[in-house]
Chains A and B, each alone.
Chain A
Amino acid sequence: MNVTQDLSILHLIINASAVVQIVMAILAGVSVMSWYYIFMKWFAVRQARSKTEIFERDFWSGGDLNSLYNSAVNDRHHAGSMERIFEAGFREFAKLKGQKNLDPKDVVDGSRRAMRATYQREVDGLESHLAFLASVGSVSPYIGLFGTVWGIMHSFRGLANVGQATLSAVAPGIAEALVATAIGLFAAIPAVLAYNRFAHDIDRLSIRYESFMEEFSNILQRQMR
């Protein structure tokens, strides 16, 4: 008969059963981490795109390859992914070109392999933490649901001790259980959105890198003659 008059969210969280509280704590932590990665990825992808654009402009403006290479090496910490791919390919090319008994085809292949290795590392770096966002997006609703189901089980069990099944006897228990689902969804929705968005952005970036590698290989091949 003790009607909880104060259903503030704090009250709900404090009164929840231990399992529900643990679930809510996990979800809160997951939510913080996923938002952190979302913002980090957001900045990283934006930066990678703008640097790629700058480098493509420089590259296709017909500058000297050597000076491009030098600026990439000197300014390594501010170089974008594409610049590093170019740097790796050109360095390999320069090394192999000096050797006498090598087929031109091998030289281009070697530099292409170097570029591919760097490319993979770069894409890997860009994609880091995306898996985390994906699993948060798919799993945290379930964690929240688990907390809710558990909480509702609890409140129904408590209902057995109350003579009459009034709504006010179950409502607080269900409300506090539902908080778990709310937190789970709050973590999951942005994570899914961000994952899809970033996966798409990174796909496009990596396609740009790949086409650049092909074009650059052609340029190198032309230089061999």
Chain B
Amino acid sequence: MILERPEEPGKKYALTFTILVHVGLIAALFLGVQWKRSPPEVMNVELWSSKPTPATYVPPPPPPVQEVKPVAKPLPKVEAKPEPAPTKPDIVVKEEKKQPKPEPKKPEPKAEPAKPEPKKPEPQLPDFSKELARETANLKSRPNTQQIANAAAAEAEQRAASNRRGTEAYATKIRIKIRGNMVQPPSIQGNPEAVFIVDQLPSGEVLKVDLKRSSGNPGLDQAIERAIRKSSPLPKPDDPAFFQRSLEIKYKPFEE
């Protein structure tokens, strides 16, 4: 004799309360806890300030300077890299900032090369004159001038992407140091580019140097590799966030 069980009481109430409890929980999570993080504006500021510091680094490299060549040639070469994206322009900027030293620098690459093709000079010359004008006018406006050389669009982008700027500054530091340690072999045809993959420790020490794309000149490849190894420890970025364990380093003998 099984009696039908009476309905469990309060099903509806139970359901209502359940929903209430969970709505309360969700509301508490959304409103009660401040999950928002203040935007990292501090980082931006540091990036701006980081620009000058790489400039100070620039001077050291000059030592290997060979000031033999006339100024005329160096100028074209400075701009020699229209393609090489944003990184190379940075170099240019920094060098120019230190007006006294940069000029000696530029000569160096040319002195040795003597081979630089006439191709590049044409487009670069106008850019350089612009930059000179701007430099004299305003030291701070440098970044803009540099960007103009690349593209007008790049300017806006650069402002937005402060990250990239930091990486560029970092890359420039590295490149400058390596260049300072570079001993160019005498016979180089054209301006071949070599690409290396470099693994580094957080301290900047170079772990491994792999040749990714040869310049076509084994002697040059080896010289570059030696320069990279000699540059260990590599300079550290101003903001540790830009540190990268593995770097891709593109090297052109006469880029400056």
A positions within 8 Å CB-CB of B:
1, 3-12, 31-32, 35-40, 42-44, 47, 76-79, 84, 88, 118, 121, 125, 163-164, 166, 168, 186
CA distance A10 to B30 in the complex (A): 8
Is B18 in contact with A39, judged by CB distance below 8 angstroms?
A: yes
B8 at interface (Cβ–Cβ under 8 A)?
yes
Complex A-B, nearest 9 residue pairs according to Cβ-Cβ distance, in ascending order: A43-B10, A39-B14, A163-B245, A40-B14, A35-B18, A7-B35, A163-B244, A164-B243, A36-B18
Residue in contact with B11 in the complex, picked from A32, A40, A166, CB distance below 8 Å: A40
Q: Are the CB atoms of B241 and A8 closer together than 8 Å? A: no
Query: Do the beta carbons of A166 and B9 come within 8 Å of each other?
Result: no
Are A35 and B33 CB-contacts (below 8 A) given A164-B241, A166-B241? Answer: no
The docked-state distance in angstroms from the alpha carbon of A40 to that of B172 is: 69
Instruction: Assess whether A31 is in contact with B240, with CB atoms less than 8 Å apart.
Output: no
Interface 1/0 per residue, B146-172 and A, CB below 8 Å: 000000000000000001000000000
**A163 pairs with B37, CB closer than 8 A:** no
Q: Is the CB of A47 within 8 A of B5?
A: no
A59 → B minimal CB distance (Å): 19
Q: How far is the CB of A34 from chain B (nearest CB, A)?
A: 9
Known: A35-B18, A76-B3, A164-B243. A8 touches B13 (CB 8 A): no
Chain A residue numbers with a CB within 8 Å of B2 are 121
Judging by beta carbons under 8 Å apart, are A7 and B242 in contact? Answer: no
- Checking B22, B30, B242 against A35 with a beta-carbon cut-off of 8 angstroms, the contacting residue is B22
Interface of chain A: mostly helix, strand, loop or mixed: helix
- Out of B5, B14, B202, which one reaches A164, CB within 8 Å? B202
Would you give the shortest CB distance from A8 to chain B, in whole angstroms? 5
From A12, A31, A163, B202 is in contact (CB under 8 Å) with A163
Indicate whether A35 sits within 8 Å of B17 (C-beta atoms), given known contacts A163-B244, A163-B245: yes
CB distance from A25 to the nearest CB of B (A): 14
With a cutoff of 8 Å between Cβ atoms, the chain B residues found around residue A37 in the complex are 14
Are B18 and A32 within 8 A (Cβ)?
yes
- A158, B22: Cα distance in complex, Å: 33
Question: Could you tell me the distance between the alpha carbons of A32 and B25 in the complex, rounded to whole angstroms?
Answer: 11
- B119 within 8 Å of A (CB atoms): no
* Closest CB in chain A relative to B49 CB, distance in Å: 18
Contact between chains at A77 and B6 (CB < 8 Å): yes
Tell me which of B21, B202, B242, B244 has the highest count of chain A C-beta atoms within 10 A of its own C-beta.
B21
Over the window 234-246 of chain B, the binary record of Cβ atoms lying under 8 Å from chain A Cβ atoms (1 yes, 0 no) is 0000001111111
The answer, yes or no, to whether B207 is at the interface (CB within 8 Å) is no
B15 at the binding interface (Cβ < 8 Å) = yes
> Which chain A residue shows the least CB distance to B22?
A32
Report the Cα distance A66→B29, complex, angstroms: 59
Whether A40 contacts B202 by the Cβ 8 Å rule is no
B13 in contact with A39 (CB, 8 Å): yes
Contact B15 A36 (CB under 8 A): yes
Chain B residues with CB under 8 A of A164: 202, 240-241, 243
Give every chain B residue within 8 A of A39 (Cβ-Cβ). Answer: 10, 13-15, 17-18
